[in-house]
Amino acid sequence: MRLPLIAAGLMTLPLMACNPNASPDPTADETGATPATAPAAARAPVGASAQASLTDGNGGAAGTASFRQGPTGVLIRIEATGLTPGWHGLHLHAIGQCQGPGFTTAGAHVQHGGGTVPHGLLNAEGSDAGDLPNLYVGTDGRGFAEVFTPNARLADTGPGESLLDADGSAILIHAAPDDYVSQPIGGSGDRVACGVISAP
């Protein structure tokens, strides 16, 4: 008795697939196409670039930083020179000015929507949009890194805070490492190198 019932059930599966009255895909639009997922809708157009010439507190050359827009954030390549060996805090600041020696003209960190978010990549309440991983400098005073941030953008649209807004922005290297938790800048100390981020 069970075999005919099972066979009958199997025969109805292909018929349901061809049935025009079957329930439609709830995610499809009127044309039957499935719309893009939410993360894809928030992507930035790829291809924008920018650069920054790093200077030390005395106005001397301290390396370069280059920026490339990806679909979900910005890839930053840093090539620094003339720094003390060890780890150094690395941050994006909200104003595109680098007047030495302390580079205070660069203002505070880039913030989410201009609000106030606690500092720290490891802070349970953070992090702000200017937070980046530390930069390591060798015994020759040179540091190289590539870091990615989903919290910034070069493109006119997309996720993250604009680095090329009306007052620009800057990338800064600090004297000491960022502990990623403490306020206001993770104990990273003085600003020792700065570069104004600008489009080519």
Residue 81 to residue 141: CA distance in whole angstroms: 6
Output the pLDDT for position 139. Answer: 97
pLDDT for the residue numbered 109: 86
Low-confidence ranges of the chain (pLDDT < 50): 1, 3-20, 22-23, 26-29, 31, 33-38
Kindly state which CATH superfamily the domain 44-196 is placed in. Answer: Superoxide dismutase, copper/zinc binding domain (2.60.40.200)
Is 164:197 a contact under the CB 8 Å cutoff?
yes
> In 3-state terms, what secondary structure has residue 8?
helix
E strand or H helix that includes residue 78 = strand 73-80
Whole-number pLDDT of residue 48 = 95
Check residue 118 and give its pLDDT.
76
pLDDT of residue 60: 95
Q: What confidence score (pLDDT) does residue 115 get? A: 64
Per-residue confidence (pLDDT) for residue 125, from 0 to 100: 82
* pTM, two decimal places: 0.77
Q: Please report the sign of the dihedral spanned by the C-alpha atoms of residue 125, residue 133, residue 104, residue 78.
A: negative
pLDDT recorded at residue 66:
98
Q: Write down the domain spans for the chain.
A: 2-40, 44-196
Give the distance, in angstroms, between the CA of residue 125 and the centroid of all CA atoms in the same chain.
18
